[in-house]
Amino acid sequence: MPDLHELLAREASRGGPVFAPPFETLVARSRQRRAKQALAVAAAVVAVTAAVAVPWIVRGGGSVVVVGPAIATTDAAGRAAAQQVVNQLVADVNLPAGASPLATPPAPLASEGPTKDSVTAERFFTVAGTMDSVLAYITAHPPTGLVENGTSTETGGTGSSATVEMRGVDFAGTETSSYEAPELSVAVVPQGAGVALRVAAQATLRPTRTTAELVPVNAAAVTVTYRQSNGVAYVNSWESPQAQVLAGALNALYTQGSDITDTGCVTSNPVYTVAFEVSHQPLVFTDYGCGFIAVTAGGVSQPALETGSVESRLYSMLGLQPPPQSSAPPNGSAPPGASSPAP
């Protein structure tokens, strides 16, 4: 029977994402070892809050153990959590004394509503002062937990007749598994002897991550196919602990929002694939270089994930140098460490 080095070299020469005999062999050996072990049966624990749950799923008998990041139990729960956050951001903004709320937006400050992938909240005010003085006050008293994220200016007219028609300042919050970093913006326009302003917050929603795309933390083996820009493919298979390192990195990723996944990026030439076997079904993570990781569980598509630091881990495990320093090995040969388990 060919040894592992020969099998890996043979698969690498095919150039395609092949879930090859080394992976099957490793899984079979691992199953035999686990069948000989006496494993205690553990209880299933699911921690649930009003909007967020942590999927701790522990099963005995050598089957599945999953510990994933906190995720919203449903898309509706994630939307509700995000809506609560943006409502609070708008309510907590610090305005100069004497700010008076408006029931309807002034003409230059149009209302911006939510979309199917975002939630919004907004309020409108008038306040004494100038655009510069009001923004200076707001910048000096930033909302708790937010950081300034830029300013904006809109002008009308041209040349010497140009006038400033609107100024603004933006703040950003902290992303979660349910939504991307929320944004708070304050836009100010002249109105009468003072100014009118719009305080608006927005959060882009993330799809709910499914338990089907969480890798068991006791993953026995993993097969990785990585393609460099020159088309050379490297295939390697690892048992634990390398398999568990990749499982942890993938389980920690948030889902990617539709603003990235719906860009029309071509998904035909993967940069890498990472394949596990879960309950006798393939769980495959594929990065096409489009800013997200496509996931299939048993051949069924799951919500895409952010890319995180997975590729940099693969560089290290395969013994490759990350771009732009990478170079093709001579004659398409495998780089050091590419055909054997990483230490």
Q: Taking the chain (343 residues) in consecutive chunks of 10 residues, what is each chunk's mean pLDDT?
A: 42 42 43 38 30 32 36 80 94 94 86 88 95 94 91 78 83 92 94 92 93 91 88 87 91 89 80 92 94 94 92 83 48 36 34
Q: Are 68 and 88 in contact (CB under 8 A)?
A: no
Collapsed DSSP state (helix, strand, coil) of residue 257:
coil
- Specify the pLDDT at position 232: 82
Q: What is the dihedral of CA 73, 75, 76, 82, to 10 degrees?
A: 100
Element (H, E) at 312: helix 310-318
**Range(s) of the chain covered by CATH 3.30.1490:** 4-36+208-327
- Specify the pLDDT at position 234: 87
- Specify the pLDDT at position 113: 84
Paired residues of 124 in beta bridges: 102, 198
Architecture field, domain 4-36+208-327: 2-Layer Sandwich (3.30)
- Specify the pLDDT at position 162: 62
- Specify the pLDDT at position 320: 74
Report residue 72 CA to chain centroid gap.
14
Q: Are 111 and 122 in contact (CB under 8 A)?
A: yes
